[in-house]
Amino acid sequence: MSFSNELLKWYQQNKRDLPWRHTSNPYIIWLSEIILQQTRVEQGLPYFQRFLEQYPDVLSFAAAAEDDILKLWQGLGYYSRGRNMLKTARTVVDNYNGSFPQKYDDLIKLKGIGEYTATAIASFSANEAKAVVDGNVYRVLARYFGIDEPINSPKGKKLFQQTANELLNKQQPGLHNQAMMEFGAMLCKPKNPACGICPVREGCYAFLHNAVNSLPVKLNKVKVRDRYFNYFLVTDGDNILMNKRDDKDIWANMYDLPLVETDTLLTPEELFYLPMVKEIFGTDIKLVEILPLKKHILTHQRLHVRLIILNNQPVKLKEQYFFTPIENLQKLALPKIVFIFLKNIFNL
């Protein structure tokens, strides 16, 4: 029995029952694919369900406010995905009469949709004969065929795509792609793959040559940058001072607290002496408490975040600062790390 047939047989018997597998609606498949980028299925499923309930079609999604999308996205990370989804939904309404495209050539033009996502949507919704290559598929192909070309090199990407194309079941491309991805996610896992019950292990290079842990190969990652975030909590009665972020950095257009970023972790005395701190709070800092430092990991960035609580503190308001009732915090799109701080303080 061929690799593809063995794979399809395994898939039919072992696949997870996931809601987006019961439809060929490209809007619903798009929703699931974007949410599941960089996100585990267990984490992404509740978000998918909430988004689909709130925005059952592309028309309702396109009509949403960006703040509402970001608030619903809170905790998923990579917030540009949510912003790009809104742009895509509005493009579909404007340029495709509200009918979500199914063809790869149309999908690839939309904001936030790359080769993988365009291929997945076209394959799953219209059975277009294109091979999907995601992290799971890279791993399966590298191990089974013994490919040691780095998966994140230009040559490697081309080689893996070519291999996936040759392997594709042209009669059932959508099912084949689902099976490849599920096989990598559930059986041929990054660590401790279930080789003992693998239906294709007798033809697997990695299994036969004891190379499971050395494949796939990946070039060294980009250096991680350390950033130190000093957030200031200032209240005025039942109101709290907030900051509206711009679109030039992480958490674009979201809300957080007045922030002073430093290159290293400073003592309170060093921090309060900085010109930027004096400009906002003056020289008479009414310190209540500095909460313990929390670490927050992003792609290529490691944030060291602490919260500095001030009392009856005069503030020179910047353009992006504003006071809002504490009870309104639940409605604002906040970075997860900021939300955790405020949730613990105000029992949100």
Cis check for the bond before 268: say yes or no (omega within 30 of 0): no
- What confidence category does residue 302 fall into, taking pLDDT thresholds of 50, 70 and 90? very high
Which run of H or E residues covers position 166? Answer: helix 154-167
**pTM for this model (two decimals):** 0.84
Furthest-apart CA pair in the chain: how many Å? Answer: 78
Percentage of the chain beyond pLDDT 90 is 86
Catalytic residues: 33
Please, are residues 44 and 36 in contact by the beta-carbon 8 Å criterion? yes
pLDDT per position as a tens digit, 165-189: 999 999 999 999 999 999 999 999 9
Q: Which residues of 107-143 are buried (b: 16+ CB within 10 A; e: fewer)?
A: bbebebbeeebbbbbbbbbbbbbbbbbbebbbbbbbb
Which domains are seen in the chain, by residue range? 3-214 (1.10.340.30), 225-346 (3.90.79.10)
Residue 72 has pLDDT above 80, yes or no: yes
Which residue shows structure tokens 């096989």?
183
**Cα–Cα distance list, 14 to 10, 172, 212 (Å):** 6, 18, 22
Phi, psi of 290, deg, nearest 5: -115, 115
Give pLDDT, residue 1: 56
Q: How far apart are CA 73 and CA 36, in angstroms?
A: 12
pLDDT per position as a tens digit, 110-148: 999 999 999 999 999 999 999 999 999 999 999 999 999
Which run of H or E residues covers position 324? Answer: strand 321-325
Reference 41, options 69, 20, 10; nearest CA is 20
Reference 298, options 87, 148, 90, 80; nearest CA is 80
